[in-house]
Structure 1
Amino acid sequence: MMKGTRTVGKYEVGRTIGEGTFAKVKFARNRETGESVAMKVLVKSAILKRKMVDQIKREISIMKIVRHPNIVRLHEVLASRTKIYIILEFVTGGELLDKIFRQGRLSENDCRRCFQQLIDAVAHCHSKGVYHRDLKPENLLLDLYGNLKVSDFGLSAMPQQGVELLHTTCGTPNYVAPEVLGHKGYNGAAADVWSCGVILFVLMAGYLPFEETNLPSLYNKINAAEFSCPVWFSSGAKSLIHKILDPNPRTRIQIEGIRKDPWFQKNYLPIKHREEEVNLDDVCAVFDDIEEGYVAEQSKNKEGGPLAMNAFEMITLSRGLNLAALFDRRQDYVKQQTRFVSRQPANVIISNIEAVAESMSLKVHSRNYKIRLEGISAGKVGQFAVALEVFEVAPSLFMVDVRKAAGDAVEYHKFYKNLCSKLENIIWKPEGSTLHRTETC
């Protein structure tokens, strides 16, 4: 079997836990402190080819500037000859979107707590002159204690000195403010507030306030702020949401007004944090003088099988030392990072996945116990892609890690459930598992 270890400087690198257009995110561990981190890996040639250097540098600089307990922390930036490594806080509680999928909607008190933390984080960004511009539940993570962490500042903006309006149309359509769609320039703070209002609605309702099958109809609804609150919304929540989802950015409530709102004020404990001195030397070293300061990157592999998962990854995956979470698929089916376990040989697992994927009319790319499945999204508006990787977690026991690589989160959840139902013959459930044969993941 392949017993693989890979290191980048002082970090031991593990499985892929996410991927985007320009980067992959790996689980990693600081060998000096034992701390778990998320390592965002970018290939220099890809960044240069797409002329993304300034954008990536801006994203990293922004994440170092906006240090706050409710914002994912950036620890440091490293570089090898071919790659850039962004070392981030590892947030263990998953995406807020997963919690919404699992529960349908949150209780009003839970919604309020999440919203209070979101507003605190966004207010801190605005105080630093940073506008996120892509606020949505997928970019909101939860830590082990249920505290909210804002992530993904890839579309953030810092207006040039003396310039108050932003002009780039960006963000996810359902969460975008009407003035952003108008191409006439907009205030970044007011646009972020609108997105926060859509998020609050989704938390409380379990569905979007503005949703249509085609973009022109969606834009018309957003421009007219055409939505209605469900009957279970309290009068205080309704009142605040209507003040936020005001299509006129000039009369839309601002963050200070939100903080003074009676519904928002209930059980509100403003978080106390000290301002930290920010040093951007490592960012400059990576992007301005990339010939120096390279970090050592090493891989030690024995060919012949899938990577072995180390103990630190096992513990992180299993939420402490309770290994039941590795096997109880009910805990995982709502996530965009999902997994199942099999006692079949690794090559049998791979061949079964390939056969099922082909039966689902997906294009299959397979190499070194990693598979990428590609197809057209259900709405036929873009690509749908899933990445799978087989790990050895014990002798003759393998874990298949599955994650969304491209496409809609809801579509991914449906795909994963369907995939598991078709692979039921190779998925292993340990003795005493509460899962029944009829249950899917």
Structure 2
Amino acid sequence: MFFTSTVCSLLTANFLHFYFNLQIKREIATMKLIKHPNVVRLHEVMGSKSKIFIVLEYATGGELFDKIVNHGRMKEDEARRYFQQLINAVDFCHSRGVYHRDLKPENLLLDACGNLKVSDFGLSALSQQVRDDGLLHTACGTPNYVAPEVLNDRGYDGDSADLWSCGVILFVLLAGYLPFDDDNIMNLYKKIGTGDFTFPSWFSHGTKRFILRILDPNPMTRITIPGILKDQWFRKGYKPPIFNEKYETNLDDVDAAFNDSQESHVVEKQEQPAALNAFELIALSKGLNLENLFDIEQELKRETRFTSTCSAKELISKIEEAAKPLGFDIHKNNYKMRLENIKAGRKGNLNVATEIFQMAPSLHMVEVRKAKGDTLEFQKFYKKLSNSLKDVVWHSEDDAQVHTSKLSDQRM
């Protein structure tokens, strides 16, 4: 009995560890996909063996929820301004294939200028999670803000479900209390399912009409974001968001979005390769042993790396020269490259992402990672690539002596 319970405890602990790692990875991947004036910005991610450090934009204004608690309901123009910024952010998230699924005033922050910032993507879903029926099926969120179709457990559209939550938030901003609330959870769900709520006396006719279009229990007839953007109540004083940045995103693989900043970050002008900090070096090493960073013959899985004393530009040129004869199209962005195989393999076209990091002024590390396709094909590709790059791979003096000794033994 003790043995069985111990094994179960270990399995549970391992599952929870895996689950939480997956959740963190998903949240970071999502935030790397979204750079919008009304979404909290992810600046940097650093990791050690046991910790992940996430550097986020500092929203000094606190939660929108606290503003309601401390000052009560808002005037229509103020509530409309926050709602306009919320819709701008949600619209952009949906355009990137991201559904928040936990929109509420506690997850809406304010910056020093009073601008709204959507945060906490821990329950968000990506478009890849949509099933064959075109719907999401994981019931999640905060009960008072959840759409009725989410509670029905028959699948739901992420866009429409997020909009319902936005409608509840608008009601709270204008009323100072929730439209759907009950001490009994089953009664609460019934009210949400039937759209059973009452407007306070100070709501204008236009406000009531607009909120009723959002808090429509039927997702098929509920207003959409294009409809909201055209609505007369919404458009009063509306200022579309201004973007000064261009985006390049590929959602073929969540791991690629998490690992490859070329696909999930804004493309920025960069004159030098990214420098590896101490956290990143430790995360790449096995414990504190850095030998695997310098071993061209390390075990190949989904990714590998090697070091070189060549300049970053020379490395880019060498990799390009080696990959083209192997049938790969080359896409370059500063010191990152995406190699796409023209011919489809067992799991579609093999895509390989490479990035050059600076470890010291005269030493660079090249990371080669499978972004899409078959792992075995990636391993075969890398062996061919490494053979073509033997002259640029750095070897220590000890490595050189071992290599010379092996050659002498072969000649004898």
Shorter-chain TM band:
0.5 to 0.7
CA–CA separation in structure 2 for the residues paired with 1:281 and 1:143: 31
Name the amino acid aligned to 2:259: C
Q: Determine whether 1:98 maps to 2:66.
A: yes
Q: Say how many residue pairs are matched.
A: 249
Structure 2 CA distance for partners of 1:285 and 1:238, relative to 1, 3 Å: closer
Displacement after TM superposition at 1:56 (Å) = 1.5
Q: Determine whether 1:276 maps to 2:247.
A: yes
Percent identity, aligned pairs only, is 59
Contact 1:93 1:143 in 2 (8 A): yes
Alignment partner of 2:282 out of 281, 290, 294: 294
Q: Secondary structure at the residue paired with 2:282?
A: coil
Contact 1:64 1:278 in 2 (8 A): no
1:183 aligns to what?
Answer: 153
2:171 aligns to what?
Answer: 201
CA–CA separation in structure 1 for the residues paired with 2:59 and 2:14: 27
Contact 1:72 1:88 in 2 (8 A): yes
Alignment of 1:96-135 (within 5 A): 96-135=64-103
Q: Determine whether 1:75 maps to 2:43.
A: yes
Displacement after TM superposition at 1:159 (Å) = 2.9
Name the amino acid aligned to 1:155: L
Give a deviation string over 1:285-322, Cα, whole Å, max 9, x none: 89xxx9962379xxxxxxxxxxxxxxxxxxxxxxxxxx
Name the amino acid aligned to 1:51: Y
Name the amino acid aligned to 1:293: L
CA–CA separation in structure 1 for the residues paired with 2:49 and 2:150: 39
* Structure with the larger helix share: 2
1:86 aligns to what?
Answer: 54
Q: Secondary structure at the residue paired with 1:217?
A: helix
Contact 1:142 1:148 in 2 (8 A): yes
Displacement after TM superposition at 1:187 (Å) = 0.2
Structure 2 CA distance for partners of 1:285 and 1:109, relative to 1, 3 Å: closer
Displacement after TM superposition at 1:53 (Å) = 2.1
1:62 aligns to what?
Answer: 30
Give a deviation string over 1:57-83, Cα, whole Å, max 9, x none: 111011010110000000111101210
Displacement after TM superposition at 1:276 (Å) = 3.2
Structure 2 CA distance for partners of 1:278 and 1:165, relative to 1, 3 Å: closer
Contact 2:59 2:110 in 1 (8 A): yes
Contact 1:77 1:282 in 2 (8 A): no
Structure 2 CA distance for partners of 1:144 and 1:250, relative to 1, 3 Å: same
CA–CA separation in structure 2 for the residues paired with 1:63 and 1:212: 34
Displacement after TM superposition at 1:217 (Å) = 0.3
Displacement after TM superposition at 1:93 (Å) = 0.3
Give a deviation string over 1:202-223, Cα, whole Å, max 9, x none: 0000000000001100000000
Contact 1:159 1:165 in 2 (8 A): no
Displacement after TM superposition at 1:48 (Å) = 6.2
Name the amino acid aligned to 1:284: N
Q: What is the TM-score normalised by the length of structure 1? A: 0.53
Q: Secondary structure at the residue paired with 1:198?
A: helix
Contact 2:33 2:257 in 1 (8 A): no
Structure 2 CA distance for partners of 1:47 and 1:113, relative to 1, 3 Å: farther
Q: What is the TM-score normalised by the length of structure 2? A: 0.57
Displacement after TM superposition at 1:249 (Å) = 0.1
Gaps of 5+ in 2: 1-12, 262-277, 285-412
